[in-house]
Structure formats: structure tokens, C-alpha cells
Amino acid sequence: MAVTTAEPEISTRVAPAPEALTDGFHLLIDALKLNGVETIYNVPGIPITDLGRYAQAQGLRVLSFRHEQHAGYAAAAAGFLTKKPGVCMTVSAPGFLNGLTALAHATTNCWPMILISGSSEREIVDLQRGDYEEMDQLAIARPHAKAAYRILHAEDIGLGVARAMRAALTGRPGGVYLDVPGQLLGQVMDAAEGARSLIEVVDPNPASVPSPEAISRALEVLGSAKKPLIILGKGAAHAQADDAVRELVETLGFPYLPMSMAKGLLPDTHPQCSSAARSLVLKESDCVFLIGARLNWLLGHGQGKAWGEKGSKKFVQIDIEPSEMDSNQKISAPLIGDVGSVARALLKEIGGRWEKPSADWTGAVRAKVEANVAKMAPRLKNNNSPMDYQGSLGVIKDLIAENPDVVLVNEGANALDQCRSIVDIHKPRKRLDVGTWGIMGIGMGSAVAAAVETGNQVLAVEGDSAFGFCGMEIETVCRYDLPVCTVIMNNNGIYRGDGENWAGGKDPSTTVFVKGARYDKMIEAFGGVGVTVDNPDALRRAIKEAFASRKPTLINAVIAEDAGKESGNIGNLNPSSVVAQQRYPQARKIK
Ligand code: ADP
Ligand code: TPW
Ligand code: MG
């Protein structure tokens, strides 16, 4: 047959032996591996389906999600936990946009992350000829990322990945966008030349230390304070300088407040921890030492009633980002550098000579902490059914104390605020939550990342609304058989389940969900363990069982519909309507 006679001719046209060549797919994988990437949080589709497969084949762990936003939140959380960029991979246009929220979240939180997105063909996109999933992704990513790059040629892949790594990590960490047009992946290159084109970034996290003058200035301000206070932020937790931070806090002897994700940097049960006297220390302190924490909305911008008399305080701040200084209040002694290096420089200069603040101040703070803790204790022991936040979270407080390596993931409004204040964290980076934006939906992505990156048991405490933003990823948890126990604080709605439709119509109120929903049935569909509980004793048993089995578990915890407050602790941020107070008598009841 003609076909057989043609064979010799065809064989002369066969490509050279595969090991002599490489391609864009494999250069990208090799570049990521060379820079320490071990895990990719992914959603497959054109043009990156094979990239995920090949990465898996090349020994990377590639976890596929059901929606890019959660793959992205996982990458962001991985960045916070590991101090290396978490990597998320998405398809073009819609997948890219789904992942972009997470990239912006990472940037806002100062966490290192890289979003690699496939994109359509430049020459068609740029002429707006209507390509498959056409979008100018690079331009759209730029304002939401710390940096954004596009790679057009296989020989530039090493450079592109190196630039992304360094931008994500150096200085204030952030999210980086890397645009990978489909045609790049198929480009072919000589393998040896390709290997030479890759770049391993050297010292992407350089130690940065302020001048000796800045150190003495800071110690002078801190030393002359009568009522000093330390605020630890998630930048200090991310810095992974745990011993230096602890030594600095204990040497200075100041009361300290941990911000949400700095909880556990020193254990919340530490004698200097003043979380339970927050109002007192914010109001009465005369000097506040911020360590990896910003004076943003979460701290009332360092002003207002909670901060006591105007002008009554001096601020000292450690931050890696120079422009953070004076962003809200005058910083009398800026310490620009990384938390670890600055803490060690301060300790060296102190050299064992430090006069701790007077017992008048530290004793008053301690007395307030002890009184408030004692007042709260009996409420945490109640066995009400349905549960309130105190009874249910009292159980979780006990179980986290018994299992301090568990990573607690937490989101919701009341479910968030109550859990943050009730549940002590005992070790660094064991709490992940909604971050600077207060985003709902970070729960399941963060839980997957926490389980994958640490290997530890994860407990996700989720408002029923918060869980709704990411609930489908419970399948991801089951598919990878991760030790994640999810507790849904089910009060039938957003903030409360007892809202009414003020027009009196058939539709429920805008904040109310299906009554008595059985979220536990969802996980059963994917082979996980589902449990419903309506009292603290049963909740304790169910969580203990989940921790012992390490099986994917979802506990539907029935919370009283009227247990929560509008917007949790931040109801004051809601705008108010003069009209509503007159027109809807029910509006007055909302608090
Ligand atoms: P929180 O919400 O806990 O108060 P923020 O996210 O507001 O914390 O602030 C974290 C700060 O920490 C950011 O301003 C960031 O620039 C800074 N930061 C991040 N990593 C480091 C580091 N390694 N050293 C010093 N500062 C850091
Ligand atoms: C991406 C607004 C803040 S808190 C919340 C919403 C919708 C849900 C609160 O209800 P939940 O908790 O989770 O049931 P609880 O215990 O008070 O009942 N969209 C995004 N982010 C935010 N923050 C919102 C909406 C919001
Ligand atoms: Mg709720």
C-alpha cells in the first residue's frame, strides 16, 4: 500500500529525540520547581489542562478545585503560612476573573501569591477579533496585584518566573499575576539551552535592618513610656521570626494585643496578653508599638473614642514597607525592616538592660484581664439547646487548648467575632480568617491549604452564610481525603435567622435562609462524615471523633436564630437611614 511505501520518508521528518527538546509547559514546571514550588492550586481547562497534568507527572502536588476563587484563596493562605508564594492556576477570562479576587485579597493582606493564568492569542485579543475567552488580562490584573507580567517566548519563562517570585516575596509581600498565553506552552526549545535559561532567585527575602539611630530613637520612645502597649499583627506572624518576637515582647514586658491572625504568636494565655482588656489598653496606653500591624480600619485608624484622648499617644512601628509610616497617625519612631531583623537589633541594643513598665500599669491591665475572663467563664460552660455562640465556642476553646496544633479557620460575622474573642490560639500561624477585607468565602480554600501545607488537623468554624460562599469545595476536601472538620454555626441566616420581610410578603427577609437546613447532608454526598448537633455536649463528641478519625467531617451546629447581632462587632459601620426609623417600626429592634 502507498502508506507503507511512504514510511521511510515520514521517519526522516520525525522530531529529534524528546530529551533533546523541551517546551513551554515543561520549562514553566521546571522554573517553578527550581524556585521551591511544591503545590499548585488549580482549576483545569483550555489552555492549562495539560500543564496541570504534566506538573502532576513531574512530581508537583496539583490540587484541582471546583471554582478558581477557592483555589486562589488556598494559594493566598499557603503564602501566609509558608512565607513562599502560593501558586494558583486558572484558565483564561472567566477563570482568570474568578481567581483575581483571591489575588487582590493576597495583595491586600500582604501575602505572597502567584496567579498563573492561561490567556488567549495576543494578536487576536489585541485587535479584539473575538477570540475564545478573549480578555486583556494583564491590564485587568495590574491594579489588583503587586506586579503583573506576561511571558511571550519560551526562552523568557525562567525570567518571568524569577520576576514573579521576587516581586511576590521581596519587601512587602503581595500577589503577582503571570500571564501565560496558550501558544507559549507549546513553544519548543533545545532542552540544554532551556535549562540554562532558568533562574533560581537568590535571597528573595533579604534581611533589612534600620539604622542604629532608628533603633536608639525607638528605644528612647519605648523606654520613656509609662503605659506602653504592643500590637502584634499578621505581618509579624508571617515573618516567621517567632523566637525573636517572643523574646522582644517578654524583654520589654509590655502588655500586648494580638490582631486576629497574630493570635498564638505568643500563646493567648500568656500573662502579658491583654485581649480581654482591649478597651482599657487602647484607651489608656500612652505609647503603642506596632509590630507588623497596620493602623487601618481594624484599629479604628488609631483615633476616636476607643483610643482615648486625642494626641495622648506616641506610636512606634516596625514594618517592611516604608510608606506605611504616618499613613494614619504620626509615627514617632519608624523601624523600617523585617520583623525578625528589627527585633534582634532592638534586643542587641537593649543588651539585658531594660526597665519594665511599672506594676501600676501592668497590674491594672492584668486585673482587668482576670476579671473579664472570670466573668465570661460560666457563660462558656452553658449547655443550652439550641446553642448560643458562647456555649458552642466554649467547647471549641477547650478542644483547641487540648489540640494546639490544629489550624483554626474562621469566617462569618458573629461566628467570626465570637470565635476570635473566645477561642485562644496557642501556637503561631494556627488561625486563618477573613483578613483585611473581611471576605466571606475564604473558609474551604484556606482549610485545604492549611491541611496540605501543614499536614495538621484543621477545624473550620463557619457561619452558615460564610460557608455558602465556598461550600462546594467540601467535595475537594473529600476528594483529597483531608483532615478537615467543618463546623457550620447554623443560625438560619446572615447575622440572625429571625429577620422578617417588612412588606409582609411571602419571600423571606433578605438575611434569612432555609430554616433548619441540614448542611451535614452535603458532605455525605461525597463520602464524608455528616453530623447534626444541637447542644454543646454533642458538639464536643462530634469534634473529638473527627479529630480522632481525621476524616473529612461536617458538623451542622444548630445555633439559636436570635443569638447573633447585626454585622457582629462592626454594626457601627452600617450607614443609617432617617426614613427607615419612621417607616419601619421593626428597624428599631435591629442591633
Ligand atoms: P493586621 O491585620 O494583623 O493588623 P496588617 O495586614 O494590617 O496586619 O499588617 C501587616 C503589616 O506587616 C503590613 O503593613 C506589612 O507590610 C507588614 N509585613 C509583612 N511582612 C513583614 C515582615 N516580614 N517584616 C515586617 N513587616 C512585615
Ligand atoms: C465576599 C458581607 C459579612 S458577614 C456575612 C456577609 C454576607 C455573613 C454573616 O453570616 P454568617 O455568620 O456567616 O452566617 P453569623 O454567625 O453572623 O450568622 N460578600 C463578601 N464578603 C462579605 N464580607 C460580605 C459579602 C457579609
Ligand atoms: Mg449565620
Q: What is the tens place of the pLDDT at every residue in 72-102?
A: 999 999 999 999 999 999 999 999 999 999 9
CB-ligand 2 contact for 564 (6 Å cutoff): yes
Mean of the pLDDT values across residues 382-389? 97
Distance 440 CA to ligand 2 centre (A): 6
State the residue for C-alpha cell 499578621. Answer: 234
Q: How far is the CA of 546 from the centre of ligand 1 (A)?
A: 34
229 to 179, 232, 280, 285, 364: CA distances (angstroms): 45, 10, 11, 6, 13
pLDDT at 2: 41
Q: Which of 393, 462, 495, 498 to mutate to test the pocket of ligand 2 (most atoms within 8 A of CB)?
A: 495
The rounded mean pLDDT for the chain is 96
Q: What is the number of the ligand 2 atom nearest to the C-alpha of 468? A: 13
Q: What is the pLDDT of residue 582?
A: 86
Q: Of all atoms in ligand 1, which is nearest to the CA of residue 238?
A: 20
Distance CA 51, CA 570 (A): 44
Mean pLDDT, to the nearest integer, of 231-238? 98
Confidence check: pLDDT of 14 > 60: no
What is the predicted pLDDT for the residue at 18?
63
| The pLDDT of residue 8 is above 60 | no
Distance CA 232, CA 293 (A): 6
Within 10 A of 581 (CB to CB), how many other CB atoms are there? 11
Q: Is the CB of 266 under 6 A from ligand 2?
A: no
> Which protein residue's CA is at the shortest distance from atom 24 of ligand 2?
440
Cβ proximity of 108 and 64 under 8 Å: no
- The whole-number average pLDDT for the span 42-60 is 98
pLDDT at 17: 57
User: Counting ligands in written order, which one lies closest to the CA of residue 563?
Assistant: 2
Write out pLDDT tens, residues 412-429.
999 999 999 999 999 999
d(CA 131, CA 430) in angstroms, rounded, equals: 45
Interatomic CA distance for residues 365 and 372, integer angstroms: 11
**449, three cell numbers:** 491549604
Q: Which residues contact 18 (CB under 8 A, 6 or more apart)?
A: none
CB of 470 sitting under 6 A from ligand 2: no
Most ligand 2 atoms within 8 A of CB, residue of 67, 421, 465 to mutate: 465
What's the rounded Cα separation, in Å, for the pair 387 and 563? Answer: 8
Ligand 1: centre distance to CA 424 (Å): 21
Q: Above 90 in pLDDT, residue 252?
A: yes
Q: Is 523 in the pocket of ligand 1 (CB under 6 A)?
A: no
Task: For residue range 427-476, list pLDDT tens digits in order.
Answer: 999 999 999 999 999 999 999 999 999 999 999 999 999 999 999 999 99
pLDDT of residue 587: 78
Cβ 83 under 6 angstroms from ligand 1: no
With cut-offs at 50, 70 and 90, classify the pLDDT of residue 19: confident
- Quick one: which ligand is closest to 441's CA? 2
Question: What does the pLDDT look like over 264-275, one tens digit per residue?
Answer: 999 999 999 999
pTM confidence score: 0.96
Question: Does residue 568 have its Cβ closer than 6 Å to ligand 2?
Answer: yes
Helix/strand/coil for 529? strand
Residue 585 confidence class, pLDDT cut points 50, 70, 90: confident
Residue 413 CB–ligand 2 contact under 6 Å: yes
d(CA 434, CA 424): 17
